[in-house]
Each structure stands twice: as structure tokens, then as C-alpha cells.
Amino acid sequence: MSTATTTSNRFDVLNPVIAAATGAVTFGLTMIAGDVFDLNTDSDTGPATSGWEIALYVGVVVAAMLIAVWLGLRARAGSPRRLSATALGLSIAAAVTYVAFWSGWPQVFGAVAVVLAVEHRRRVGSFSAATLTALILGAIAFIAAAITCLFG
């Protein structure tokens, strides 16, 4: 028995570019909201964030976006097995990088992992164990990092 699958070259909401941008914007908004609304645990007597620090944050997030988009587009152009493996790898990377939540990597990697898992389901018709794991782990890392950026 064979399963008919198709590669996806269209630009839609399941595109890794959109997912990575969503992760980056979520990171930026939660970091800003935590600071503006004084929700995070930073002390008010500490030094203000400098322009260099902001540039570093942007650079680190852009690096995460480049990695996640490159991996995501390669996986999307390949077989469902590649989609599944890449989704799982990115979700594990999102969970591992949670310790550095301030980098934005968990949000970017988690968002792309979720999108790749859903793309796998769209192509094959169901989630495999790996893609379901990627979906859950990626979503948990994304949400946990966003909450930590807001309140941490």
C-alpha cells in the first residue's frame, strides 16, 4: 500500500517563513509588554536596556529565523518523513533553548515545529507519533517561553 503525498511550494499560513515571523513577533511583543507594563521581575533600579542590547536581541532572533526557515523550507520540499523529522528536531531545539528564553529561539523554533507538524498531517492525513510529539512539545515550548518573557 502506498500513500500519495504532494510537496508544497505554495505560500500559505503553513509556510515556515510566516511561522518564524510569528514566533519573532511574539517574542518581541512579550518582551516589550513585560517591560512596559512592569510585569517582569527586572528591578526598576537596574540599568536601562541599551541600543547594543536591543541590536543583539534582534540579531539573535534573526539568526533563529534564518535557521528555522532554512530547515523548514527544505523539509517542506521533501517527503513527509523529512517533515516529521524536522518538526521533531525543531521542537526538541525549542524545548532545549527554553533555558535561554530571552533569545527568542524557543518561540521561533516552536512555531515552525508546529507548522511543520500540521503540514505533515495535511499531506498524509494523520499525525504520526513523531509529528504529534513535535506539535505538543513545540507548542508547549512556544507558550512557556512567551509567558516567561512576559513575566520573567
Within a domain: 8: no
Q: Which residue has the higher pLDDT, 37 or 150?
A: 150
Domain count, the chain: 1
pTM over 0.85: yes
- Cα–Cα distances (Å) from 108 to 20, 21, 39, 93, in that order, read 5, 7, 22, 10
Helix residue spans in 97-126 (DSSP H): 105-124
Within a domain: 1: no
Per residue in 87-117, pLDDT (tens digit) is 999 999 999 999 988 899 999 999 999 999 9
CB 90 within 8 A of CB 141: no
Within a domain: 46: no
Per residue in 18-32, pLDDT (tens digit) is 999 999 999 999 988
Identity at 5, one-letter amino acid code: T
Residue 13 has pLDDT above 90, yes or no: no
CB 109 within 8 A of CB 141: yes
Q: How far apart are the first and last CA of the chain?
A: 51
Within a domain: 21: yes
pLDDT in the model for residue 35:
79
Q: What's the pLDDT band for 12 if we cut at 50, 70, 90?
A: confident
Q: What's the pLDDT band for 152 if we cut at 50, 70, 90?
A: confident
pLDDT in the model for residue 58:
93
- Cα–Cα distances (Å) from 99 to 80, 88, 106, 144, in that order, read 30, 18, 9, 11
pLDDT in the model for residue 135:
97
Within a domain: 32: yes
Q: Which residue has the higher pLDDT, 52 or 37?
A: 52
Instruction: Quote the domain boundaries for residue 135.
Output: 16-38+56-151
